[in-house]
Copies of this chain bind each other. A is one copy, B any other.
């Protein structure tokens, strides 16, 4: 079984059981105790699980959020996204207003931001991110309204636009489905509308994109790359791509994605 799948199944298991011992999990997944232990440890670091002696509980916020797809859990759990998210969260200054665009990479940023314990105001159009941020009392979280597309946690439509158009933020963390030297693009018109509104609402636009997003295009363009003030990506980006971006005069920050399994405690 794939590690990612195993982890997703752990989440799934916890969602129905609410709590489980490592021994039960190991048996249910038909793998060894050591492996399950490592998986649980990993999921704890991403903030999805809470460890207890002998087992684990689903983190209360995750209990709420993770309903739609276990895949989201494993998506956030990617080491690259975590590293990008951590770097992004480090930029937040006390008292600032920050927009979190919908997406898994921005969700990883939200997870890190929650752990930092810095007081700030957050605005998001993502149910997952809203839940994550509400876990820290120092963060004043606002969620845009809107309708939810089945299978996603993204808020779309007039309700979402209404909130975002009336807003001025210090930073916007934005995700994208694809980007080239010219443009940012995503998969639907509604998504593009929201994202371009976010771009206009923030003084400083920070694009969070893992290296897989570079130099591909998607259906709908929502902004120009030169309008982005900083790009954060992971160290799997080929040097020639990095050079191409930097040649445009756009600051590009490359974060080291930690070797997966271990990490002291941080």
Contact = CB atoms under 8 A, between A and B. Distances in A.
A111 B150 CA distance: 14
Contact of A131 (B55, B65, B162): B65
A246 to B, nearest CB: 35
B71 A57 contact: yes
Nearest to A138: B150
A142 interface: yes
A152 B53 CA distance: 26
Given A2-B54, A53-B3, A145-B145, A18 B74 contact: yes
Contacts of A137: 150-151
A141 to B, nearest CB: 4
B159 A142 contact: yes
A140 B147 CA distance: 7
User: Majority SS of interface residues in chain A?
Assistant: mixed
Nearest to A145: B145
Contacts of A151: 134-135, 137
Interface string A131-161: 1111111011111111111111101000110
A21 interface: yes
B2 A52 contact: yes
A63 interface: yes
A210 interface: no
A135 B15 CA distance: 15
A155 B127 CA distance: 11
Contact of A67 (B54, B70, B135, B144): B135
A186 interface: no
A254 interface: no
A143 B127 contact: yes
Contacts of A67: 128, 131-132, 135
A44 interface: no
Interface string A26-67: 000000000000000000000000101111011110011111
A19 interface: yes
A44 to B, nearest CB: 12
A137 to B, nearest CB: 4
Contact of A135 (B128, B142, B150, B160): B150
B142 A147 contact: yes
Nearest to A147: B142
A39 to B, nearest CB: 12
The 9 A-B residue pairs whose C-beta atoms are closest, nearest first, are A145-B145, A18-B74, A137-B150, A64-B128, A134-B148, A4-B52, A141-B148, A67-B131, A142-B147
